Structure 1
């Protein structure tokens, strides 16, 4: 029988791809986390991770066990809630990109939770690509994010242009390689920007990588790098550069809400509706 405590530690290491980060998340020492994984590998009779000095990755056996671990831990939690008599609580896991969480979404989530007894919300902020992967694995119930193109089904909130943002005054006339400030991979803005530059034959280099909208805007406002942003994120310190600066056109950004395909609590549909209604005001 697999120990739930060991499975919980194993899942944290798999999600963080790091023993150190898993230890911080679980409030354990790194040696304790390593010990839990070692004991689980003994129970499974095979290695679960490939370790190197720089990374931690699941083995095929680890990939298989991770699916079972999620199901076992979910069943354990359901059993605990039923045995304790607390069966009416609803916990929704929301994924949101930084541009949503740095504007109107937190207020909407607070209001949604405040009028629903027994409903709690947990928000994970990351790039849309990472959040959609979490959604596909069943780790999130709803994702609010953006894309420039994609096959994922979802509900469109609105569209707006993606632009090259840079300090007022424009680029210097002699820039051998365009300095870029980008979100980490995977990111639709990053992919669209690099594809457009490649098609135009424009040289570029990455100067800044940050998950924060504020950091990218600061780099652009300081004339340190050009960053692709949706037009509504421009500040008074930024201009949208175009063909006159030798930059290719960028596609529109689609802002979307995504949910799991299978049926879930009705609160997921209710929250989706609230997000759609709020988006119409922006």
Structure 2
């Protein structure tokens, strides 16, 4: 399916403020970026770099006063995500070197403190994919989705105790439980078609059977039509905007809409374009 997705951020900078943005998705597994538009007001110089996780990031300096960022993209997405019941656990000694850090505790995912819970949840499940699916299902059933019950400091341990949270918290808990079983797991943020309520979204991927698979504990069944923006160990790595100064985010609007068939046919023969001012991708506001 072709999707039009994007976000609009309205800031008020109390002083000149450097920013790192993480808003631009890139083409990869399950998605093809057909068109992008990036508008920053007032106009500022943008430089782009790729971080250690392969995410596109932009650096800007916001002047004092109102500052807005509007990003939109047309993306060809996969209608389904791959599932693989029975896919085996990948032993640590067989993991690629670059994945080893995804087995370790991180700021929001204290996997070294959740081994007993993970063992209880996955009791009887085959090592590998089935263990991760047991974790996803347990979180979906036992954690209540509720806004206003967590904040930027809430960790996986906090969520396991409170049993409430939003997609960020579901994701941290899933990652932490997987890592406690020595299964590499990473956070993913982006867009999900027909998410209700609409917002930036977070889910996790686990490495089993020699590859990454998608798991989303907020959903009752596997769903495709996702647009990945960034990967990381946890929310500390995938903020959509990171600011280095006194700056307030006043409003944030997110949309994901299907491209109608006539428009889709027209876009299919147009070359993909990236505006010259296209910058980077990162965020201080985290997914809900």
Q: Say yes or no: TM over 0.5.
A: no
More strand by share: 2
Higher RCO (CA < 8 A, seq sep 6+): 2
More helix by share: 1
Q: Which interval holds the TM-score relative to the shorter structure?
A: under 0.3
Give the TM-score of the pair, scaled to structure 2.
Answer: 0.25
Larger Rg: 1
Give the TM-score of the pair, scaled to structure 1.
Answer: 0.25
